[in-house]
A = this chain, B = another copy of it.
């Protein structure tokens, strides 16, 4: 791996683990056993590293949430949800500290807002399509609120997970997915609701924290 790539990957891992505000470029150089001068040759400062990582995140996420083909099956939506959550987990340092990071790195703020609005629009159009197919039963105003709830849960799950956990930990991806699925479940037709709740139980069973009973 080239040095520039190694710096980006080590930064991502340190940011995710310790939180972006708590990691300095000196620590990144130290982690890689390279001189600060060598690091500065590739990235002038931490802002450039953040911009680089954000660019990778942005490409990956926009690719996932490009408007889905009208012909896809409902199961495909859950796969996309899973992949979106994996992308969030991969770049969890952004999500755990979102408002703060968007305030301090002004260049990424409008781009993140664009991603969020795109997520909202895609979620809404998927829900509308499910309504047209009579899989979802909800008024239009309920669909609009549901789209917001899905995106809010997706986006702030990592923060919720951090704040409610007694000990710092890796983000609990599976519980986040189950939580998001539970937003849509009550609006689904009986058969699909049962299917989706079974899927949700599978996610919870494999979550590090264990069974749903533990959760409240």
Contact = CB atoms under 8 A, between A and B. Distances in A.
B141 A212 contact: yes
A183 to B, nearest CB: 6
Interface stretch (A5-13, A60-68, A73-81, A112-120): A112-120
B98 A183 contact: no
Interface string A12-23: 000000010110
A157 interface: yes
Contacts of A116: 163-164
B98 A159 contact: yes
A29 to B, nearest CB: 23
Contacts of A153: 149, 152-153
Contact of A102 (B21, B152, B163, B201): B163
Contacts of A186: 138, 142, 186-187
A216 B103 contact: no
Given A139-B197, A197-B139, A201-B141, A216 B148 contact: yes
Given A138-B186, A139-B197, A163-B112, A148 B97 contact: no
A139 B186 CA distance: 10
Interface in A145-183: 145-149, 151-153, 155-157, 159-160, 162-164, 166, 178-179, 182-183
Nearest to A164: B116
A144 interface: yes
A169 B23 CA distance: 31
19 contacts: A19-B99, A21-B103, A22-B103, A98-B159, A116-B164, A120-B216, A121-B216, A138-B186, A141-B201, A144-B212, A145-B178, A145-B200, A147-B216, A148-B215, A152-B152, A153-B153, A155-B163, A156-B159, A186-B186
